[in-house]
Structures are given as structure tokens and as C-alpha cells.
Amino acid sequence: MSHHHHSHEETSDRGLLWAVVINLGLSIFEFTAGIIAGSTALMADALHNTNDATALLIAFIARRISRKGADREYTFGYRRAELIGAMIQLTALILIGLYFLYEGVIRFLNPETILGGWMMAASGVALVVDLGTVWLLWAMSKGSLNVKAAFLHNLTDATASLAVMAGGAAVYWLSWNWVDPALTLLIAGYILYMSIGLIKRTSKILMQAAPEGLDLEQLKTEAENIEGVCELHHIHIWELDEHHRSFESHIVISDESILQQDTIKSEIKALLKERFQIGHSTLEFETQSKACSEGNNSFIPAH
């Protein structure tokens, strides 16, 4: 089973490396075609592809690092390397999106002659390559924000390439040169929209926010309904990455339940795992008569 998992990871890594090579080649071709055609939208798409190639390389490096086990310095392991990779990618994408907005506005103010035929040909090649990269990354994107960021980059590219192809047709047959800067602005807007959403999700994990969709009050109520449990306080819940949740809390039990502490602990851990998908939990037990001074405040910061 572990051999199969290792083999799958190696196959995924090769897929990422192939995607890097393909996207770099496409970027060079598309940027050259953009210069010849005088198309800002085509050059914008080329810069986006260059960023994607860099993003894919970062994704590859981050995946390799994240597989390292825990050591004395990094006792939680290296899982968050992929999140750091995602943050680097997304920050770069936002900067590129802002640059595209600037270029689109400049081209509206100072229009230039555009060769629609080159736009269609280059974006057609780009569309095929983008769809091929999306296919390579699709399976891997399901389990990693890092790879999902790279996958979304290339999905965005495919959409942009299709739009640029349509724009090239409008320029070639209808002489609508304004379509090129308009497409540049649309591509930029889409890049910013997708990137900001993902960067929020990644930032929340790095800031140790409670997992999205998890109701802390419901968790507290259900745990306090277990026989012998009087109260939970000093509650903390966070994610190491998008797959691993951790929880810690002080558990106040009745003085009469002290002998059932192990049973209560097992019930709480089962509740956390089955109802709230929390695989790791640290529980500190106190009796009512000797409960700490933090009292009824449920979410007190750690000191």
C-alpha cells in the first residue's frame, strides 16, 4: 500500500515537472507572438503563463518538502511548506493582475494596431497547452491548496486563451481593436478574483483560524452533554494544513466523575473525530472544586 502511495506521489511529481516545462515553452512562444501581433492581451496571457510555470515549480518544491517527517526543530513536520508555496504563488498572481489592469487602461488611452490572425493562432496553441496542463493537475488538486492554486492558474489560462482567440477573431474580421485591452482588463479582474479568494483561505490556516464551517459553540455544547462533563474552556482549534485539524481544551468534570476520567476522555475524542473531523486533541482535565480561574470564558487565548 505504501509502495503504491509512493509510486503515485512520484507520478504526480513528474506531472508537475512536465507542466513546468510545457508552460515555459508556451510563455516564450506566446510572448513573442504578442510582440509581433501588438496584442497586450496576448502578452498578458504569456506573463500569466510564466507565472504559472514558476508557480508549478514552487508547488513541486513545496510538495517535496512537505513530505519530510517531524524532527527536533519542526516538531509538527513540514506540512505547511505547501501553504507557504501557495502564498508565494497567489501573491505573485495578484501583482500580475494589478499590472494587467494598468496595461489594459493604457491601451484604451493609446490604442495600437493589432494583428488578429496572430492573436488567434497563438491563443489556439495556448488553449491546447493550458487544457493539457489542467488535465495533468486535476487529480492532484483535490488534496492540496498548493496544487489547487497551480491548477486554478492554468484553468484561468485556458479561459483567457479562449477569450483571446475570440478577441483575435473580432480584431481580424471586424477591426474591433478595443477588444484587446477589454480582454486584458477581464483577464486581470478574473485573476484577482480567484487569487484573493484562495489567499484568504490559505491565510486563515497560517493564522491558525478555526476551520471553515466548524461551529465551536455546537462542539462545546455536544461535549458538555457527555455524562460527567460540566464545562469546556480554554478552547483552541486550528488546522496544520487543509487535512489535519488539532484541538486543545480544559475539561471540567464533576468531582464524582473523577474515576470515569478515561471513559470521558475516550468519548470526547470519539466525538471530535467522528462529528468534527479532528484527528489530534489534547485534553486537560480539572474537577469542579479545583477548576482553574479562567472560569466560563470559552475561548481564552493561550498564555
Q: What is the DSSP string of 6-28?
A: HHHHHHHHHHHHHHHHHHHHHHH
- The runs of H, that is alpha helices, within the chain are 2-37, 40-66, 81-109, 116-138, 145-174, 179-206, 216-224, 261-276
pLDDT in tens, 195-231: 888 888 889 989 989 988 899 999 999 999 999 999 9
Domain boundaries, the chain: 2-206, 216-290
Same fold, 2-206 and 216-290: no
Cα dihedral 164, 168, 171, 173 sign? negative
pLDDT in tens, 87-129: 887 888 888 889 888 888 888 888 777 888 888 888 888 888 8
Name the pLDDT band for 8 (thresholds 50, 70, 90).
very low
Closest CA to 40 of 160, 138, 130, 139: 160
Global pTM value: 0.68
- Please state the CATH superfamily assignment of the domain spanning residues 216-290 in this structure: Cation efflux protein, cytoplasmic domain (3.30.70.1350)
Q: Which three cell numbers stand for residue 275?
A: 462529528
For helices 81-109 and 179-206, give the axis angle rounded to 10 degrees: 160
Q: Which three cell numbers stand for residue 122?
A: 497563438
| CATH entry, 2-206, from 2.30.30.90, 1.20.1510.10, 1.10.1530.10, 1.10.3720.10 | 1.20.1510.10
Most confident of the ranges 44-48, 143-147, 270-274 = 270-274
For helices 2-37 and 116-138, give the axis angle rounded to 10 degrees: 170
Alpha-carbon span 78 to 67, nearest angstrom = 7
Q: Output the CA–CA distances (angstroms, integers) from residue 68 to 50, 65, 80, 161, 185, in the order listed.
A: 29, 6, 11, 38, 41
Alpha-carbon span 178 to 192, nearest angstrom = 22
Closest CA to 152 of 55, 45, 242, 79: 55
Alpha-carbon span 256 to 120, nearest angstrom = 78
Alpha-carbon span 186 to 171, nearest angstrom = 17
pLDDT of residue 237: 94
Q: Tell me which amino acid residue 224 is.
A: E
Q: Which three cell numbers stand for residue 178?
A: 478595443
Contact (Cβ atoms closer than 8 angstroms) between residue 60 and residue 16: yes
pLDDT in tens, 257-301: 888 999 999 999 999 999 999 989 999 999 988 777 655 444 544
pLDDT of residue 146: 60
Alpha-carbon span 50 to 55, nearest angstrom = 9
| CB crowding 265-280: b at 16 or more within 10 Å, else e | eebbbebbeeebebee
